A and B are shown apart, each in its own frame.
Chain A
Amino acid sequence: MVIGSLATLNLPMVVDLIGIFELKGPYCTLTMTDWFLQALSVIPRGSWGDVARRFTMIRWEVEHFEIREVLRCILHTVLFHRALGLVRPKDVDLELFEITYVQCGDMEVERKIDEKIDQFIDRVEKHPNKKNQICLSFYEVKNKQATWFTNKVERLYWEQWYINLNVAQHPKGHSGKSNYSKIVVGPGDTAAEARTARRAALESSLRDVLFQIIRFVNDKKDHVPPIPNLEGVSFPYEITISSSSDSAFGMDMFKRMLQTGHPSMLS
């Protein structure tokens, strides 16, 4: 399947993948090849236009207690750019980092995000060795197609955001240093200094991701549907959580194909 995906690569896909690659920072735990293959694994075979735009974040490794803040920051920033109804923005200061992000001010959105983050944390705790992913999707509802077998409402996803997080295993001494290309920690440094340096690097990476989100949102706007006359969240969205092991790439992609509702993608 991976080879099939490579064969269907076109220039826009490559450009976007390169753009995603720029996010690679100290938290990238993959080699170049692994990263590329993983990025491709989430792409259904075929035209890139199946989903108008997709943003995939490079997998990060964070501490367990950092998951909530990182996810809140990223998800709310995305939703603030997609809740295009009348809003009164709410500035929120992260507790672990010196970053202020913006919420759209909708309590229902805040509740839903917190609920999904709780589910993600539960999933991470149950499957710490799996690659966990949280996906924020925006869709349009297509006309119902009542059939004998299903009356499922078809959704046309026009944007998807993939956030990949791994929970850091408890570091043994200075074992965590080697993956962080941006951190230079001497052998004489204490664990506390290493944690501080790591925290600063994560903050820097998180800020970079937020800038990337802003650039991504601004680069293309044509695919965004017309704004309905609503307050707060203007487009339907969903947050899904998935986890896969290294050997389950194929099954994971198969599941995604089913979700996008394109039987022609099945091999």
Chain B
Amino acid sequence: MASSNENAPSEPAKMEQIITEFFAKSLHVILESRCPYVSTRNYSGEQILSSPSPSSSSSSSSSSFRPRDKWFNLALRDCPAAFENIDFWQQSNLEPVIVDVVLIKRRGGSEPLSSPKRGGLVRDVDEFGCGKKSEKIIERWVIQYESKKGCGGKGGGVSGSKRSTCTSSHVLYKKSLLLLRSLYATVRLLPAYKLFRDLISSARMRLYNLGHRVSSFVEPFTRGEEADMQQFVFSPVDTSCGRLCLSVAYCSSLMDVSEPSTPISPQFIPEYVGSPMAEPHRWFPSFPESQRSQFTCVFGRHHSWSYDSYSRSHASIPISKRQTSYSKDPSCEEYRTCTDFSLPPNVASQTFVSMQDADASDHQTISTFDKLPFKKDEFRKISDEKPSSNSLLSKLISRTSSSLTFAGGSDDSEFGAFVLDNDAKLGLGSRSGSLDSPLRHEPANNESQVGALVHMLQNAPPLRNKSYFSQQSSNLDGHKNCTQESNKTMADALNELREYGELKGDLLKQSKDSQA
């Protein structure tokens, strides 16, 4: 009897471990349903990690559960916020864990709030850009272990017979398990869960966000705040040395939050890849000529491939200001979600777009859209100033296939020709019809296409490089050099292509990992 007890972990150690894991698990349960940025885009109330139905006799289904899932027999989705926050607490089991779920609303602005970065602390005002915001604690979860007097130390000494202590850890585990089940169900019944679900749905922009704070000590609510809160106290789990307590104070009414959000009204996307508007150099016979001029130069939406000298003329405008103007554009959000369209077979170009799409940083995404569309006046100006470029333009147009949709890069004068205004007198032919023939009937030259594309990508502006715009004015003079640089070998082009493909795969994998 004594020997068997020596081999088994002691009861106090078991109970301490159960309590420690209970804190971690309960924090996980709370935060996984309150932290919007850790939820996947495909959240639909169903399981994200599909797993076979657990059966009592099947051992293979157990393999789909990770070791931490088996604690309290509850397999949960990944929640990095929970893992980050539990680290600081594990230093002492006796301190309570208090989780404040905070509602952040923007005052007086129409700009939607972005999700907080990993860490979830909402005190950083700059995180949401300019504009005042208000915070309100809508839930306060308190998880604590109250030690009984007379039990010494962390985990406490165990009093009573060994038989009672042997069962106490089992009983504690069972009761903790039941408590966690109730917690899991309760977090989904409280009003804040609806806000969480609204936030993670990708269809609407919201003027509020959810944040959280995890700490051991908080300021108590004021009387006014307390009057708005309701309490739900779970029955504590008694142990031989204390009791495990769990409670929540929550705002029962969050009606003022459910203000009308800005729904993204369905819009036709005239500039989808492959469309006449996105490829004005390729005129579709069915497209009325009268409408071609409406969409060619001034796009309602900003596209990376429409970068041209318009941005050069606005090089003096600070990027932040441009970002502001961009973010006010209600079509921006729509664009982001629309970058998943299928691209033409030019993989490099596809990589270029998906690189920007996979990048979750708003700054990088916004700077991509600094490549503003070519305005016809600018184009006319360039074409008038550089008459010698027209022959080059015609050559390039003849080389590149109609599937090329990017007009970025330093040689905007060349690729800007793809963004044509029918009214512009380009010297390439006053009518688009004359442009059709070289484009339509020119046989595709893969090598030159790839070379031209690679050259364009090589000279594409860095995402945050301000100085790039000042360089563009000098590039107009060096278009001859650019022409020479486009004559790259096939091997170089394929190497570039492969690198971009690998980069794209890495970014997609990272995004998938972060969503999982």
Residue B194 at the A interface, CB < 8 A?
yes
Let me know if B193 and A81 touch, CB within 8 A. no
A45 to B184, CA, bound (A): 37
Contacts of A224 in B (CB 8 A): 174, 178
Residue A18 at the B interface, CB < 8 A?
no
Let me know if A214 and B73 touch, CB within 8 A. no
Q: Which of B46-54, B366-374, B423-431, B439-447 contacts A (4 or more CB under 8 A)?
A: B46-54
Q: Which of A28-36, A60-68, A226-234 contacts B (4 or more CB under 8 A)?
A: A226-234
CB contact between A86 and one of B65, B186, B237 (< 8 Å): that residue: B65
Q: Which of B55-63, B86-94, B306-314, B349-357 contacts A (4 or more CB under 8 A)?
A: B55-63
Residue B185 at the A interface, CB < 8 A?
yes
Of B54, B184, B232, which is in contact with the most chain A CB atoms at under 10 Å from its CB? B54
Contacts of B189 in A (CB 8 A): 99-100, 207, 210-211
Residue A189 at the B interface, CB < 8 A?
no
Residue B175 at the A interface, CB < 8 A?
yes
A91 to B44, CA, bound (A): 9
Contacts of A88 in B (CB 8 A): 47, 49, 51, 54, 65, 69, 75
Residue B188 at the A interface, CB < 8 A?
yes
Contacts of B170 in A (CB 8 A): 226
Let me know if B70 and A227 touch, CB within 8 A. no
Residues 471 to 488 of chain B near chain A (Cβ within 8 Å) = none
Residue A152 at the B interface, CB < 8 A?
no
Q: Which of A51-59, A103-111, A161-169 contacts B (4 or more CB under 8 A)?
A: A103-111
- With contacts A86-B73, A217-B182 known, is A100 near B45, CB below 8 A? yes
Residue A144 at the B interface, CB < 8 A?
no
CB contact between A219 and one of B49, B53, B197, B235 (< 8 Å): that residue: B235
Residues 64 to 119 of chain A near chain B (Cβ within 8 Å) = 77, 80-81, 84-93, 98-102, 105-108
Contacts of A81 in B (CB 8 A): 178, 181-182, 185
B194 (CB) vs chain A CBs: closest residue? A98
Let me know if A87 and B74 touch, CB within 8 A. yes
A98 to B198, CA, bound (A): 12
Let me know if B178 and A105 touch, CB within 8 A. no
Residue A172 at the B interface, CB < 8 A?
no
Min distance, Cβ A83 to any Cβ of chain B, angstroms: 9
Contacts of B54 in A (CB 8 A): 85-88, 105-106, 231-232
CB contact between B188 and one of A100, A107, A226, A232 (< 8 Å): that residue: A100
A230 to B61, CA, bound (A): 11
Residue A255 at the B interface, CB < 8 A?
no
Contacts of A108 in B (CB 8 A): 53, 55
Contacts of B69 in A (CB 8 A): 86, 88
A102 to B49, CA, bound (A): 16
- With contacts A107-B53, A219-B235, A231-B61 known, is A90 near B185, CB below 8 A? no
Of B61, B182, B194, which is in contact with the most chain A CB atoms at under 10 Å from its CB? B182
Of B51, B175, B178, B179, which is in contact with the most chain A CB atoms at under 10 Å from its CB? B178
Contacts of A214 in B (CB 8 A): 182, 185-186
Residues 175 to 232 of chain A near chain B (Cβ within 8 Å) = 207, 210-211, 214-215, 217-219, 221, 224, 226-227, 230-232
A211 to B178, CA, bound (A): 15
- With contacts A90-B46, A211-B232 known, is A84 near B174, CB below 8 A? yes
Let me know if A105 and B45 touch, CB within 8 A. no
Contacts of B193 in A (CB 8 A): 100
Min distance, Cβ A215 to any Cβ of chain B, angstroms: 8
Contacts of A99 in B (CB 8 A): 189
Residues 163 to 202 of chain B near chain A (Cβ within 8 Å) = 170, 174-175, 177-179, 181-182, 184-186, 188-189, 193-194, 197
Contacts of B341 in A (CB 8 A): none
Of B58, B61, B70, B235, which is in contact with the most chain A CB atoms at under 10 Å from its CB? B235
Let me know if B75 and A86 touch, CB within 8 A. yes
Residue B234 at the A interface, CB < 8 A?
yes
A80 to B185, CA, bound (A): 9
Let me know if B62 and A221 touch, CB within 8 A. no
A219 to B74, CA, bound (A): 21
Min distance, Cβ B59 to any Cβ of chain A, angstroms: 9
A227 to B235, CA, bound (A): 20
Let me know if A85 and B56 touch, CB within 8 A. yes
- With contacts A81-B181, A107-B53, A218-B234 known, is A102 near B194, CB below 8 A? no
- With contacts A100-B193, A219-B235 known, is A86 near B62, CB below 8 A? yes
A219 to B65, CA, bound (A): 30
Let me know if A91 and B46 touch, CB within 8 A. yes
A219 to B236, CA, bound (A): 9
- With contacts A86-B69, A90-B47, A231-B55 known, is A217 near B188, CB below 8 A? no
Pairs A-B, 3 closest by C-beta atoms: A231-B54, A107-B53, A88-B75
B residues adjacent to A (C-beta < 8 A)? 45-47, 49, 51, 53-56, 58, 61-62, 65, 69-70, 73-76, 170, 174-175, 177-179, 181-182, 184-186, 188-189, 193-194, 197, 232, 234-235, 237
Q: A218-B178, A218-B235 are in contact. List 5 more A-B contacts (CB 8 A).
A: A85-B54, A86-B62, A218-B182, A221-B178, A221-B237
Please list 13 pairs of residues, one from A and one from B, whose beta carbons are closer than 8 Å in the complex, sorted by A's number: A80-B181, A80-B185, A81-B185, A84-B177, A88-B49, A88-B54, A100-B45, A211-B186, A218-B179, A221-B175, A221-B178, A221-B237, A224-B178
A residues adjacent to B (C-beta < 8 A)? 77, 80-81, 84-93, 98-102, 105-108, 207, 210-211, 214-215, 217-219, 221, 224, 226-227, 230-233
